[in-house]
Amino acid sequence: MRHLPTMNADLGWAWAALLATATGLYPWLARYLRKPALALGLSLGALSAASGQGIQTLVVNDSPFELAYESLVETIEGDGYVVASVQQFGEMLDRTTKLAPGGAPSVYLHARVVLFCSARLAHAMSHEDPTQIALCPLAVALYVRRNTPTQVVFAWRSPPPSTPARQQAEDLLNGVVRRAALLARTR
């Protein structure tokens, strides 16, 4: 079972500053990161991570679901990838409540799955092993549970990093989710 590291306030600030300035991905973010109040918002409580059976999660506290979703799509598209589809998972569960055990309502207030693809990565993975087609497209789920309405959870399957292309896929997913979570938190 792997766990992503959680950020403390100092590491969060350093990571965000590095992201905003050194990589140049979000130059507008550098202006906001100079504000001390915002730096305090990037604390240990803002971002946390856990995992279970190959599924990674990252929690963003006190961010509206729609803002987190928009941040994820913006991060994916900003990196030059194409969102292949968005699955309205929560709506599907709401429509099919009668099929749930005891007719119980969905555990989610909101839930979506965003599928996206990197053509370069897909080629690399398929050349390593044609069966790796099953790993494409990459998927990130976002949800808010009914019992924790102030937490947006990002969840994604982390392919075992047994090959160079799988490691690239894992790095891509981890990077996209972390940047999207940071973006959602700083807006």
Q: What CATH number did the domain enclosing 159 receive?
A: 3.30.310.70
Establish if 2 belongs to a structural domain: no
- Counting as low any pLDDT under 50, the low residues of the chain are 1-51
Nearest 10 degrees: Cα torsion 8, 43, 156, 89:
160
Distance CA 67, CA 60 (A): 11
Residue 124 lies in a domain: yes
pLDDT at 32: 40
Is residue 3 domain-resident?
Answer: no
Residue 86 domain-assigned (yes or no): yes
In a domain, 174, yes or no: yes
Q: Domain span at residue 38?
A: 9-186
pLDDT of residue 184: 95
**What's the confidence (pLDDT) of residue 52?**
52
How many domains is the chain partitioned into structurally? 1
Burial class of 159 by CB neighbour count within 10 A (0 to 12, 13 to 18, 19+): buried
pLDDT given at position 61: 96
- Quick one: pLDDT at residue 17? 36
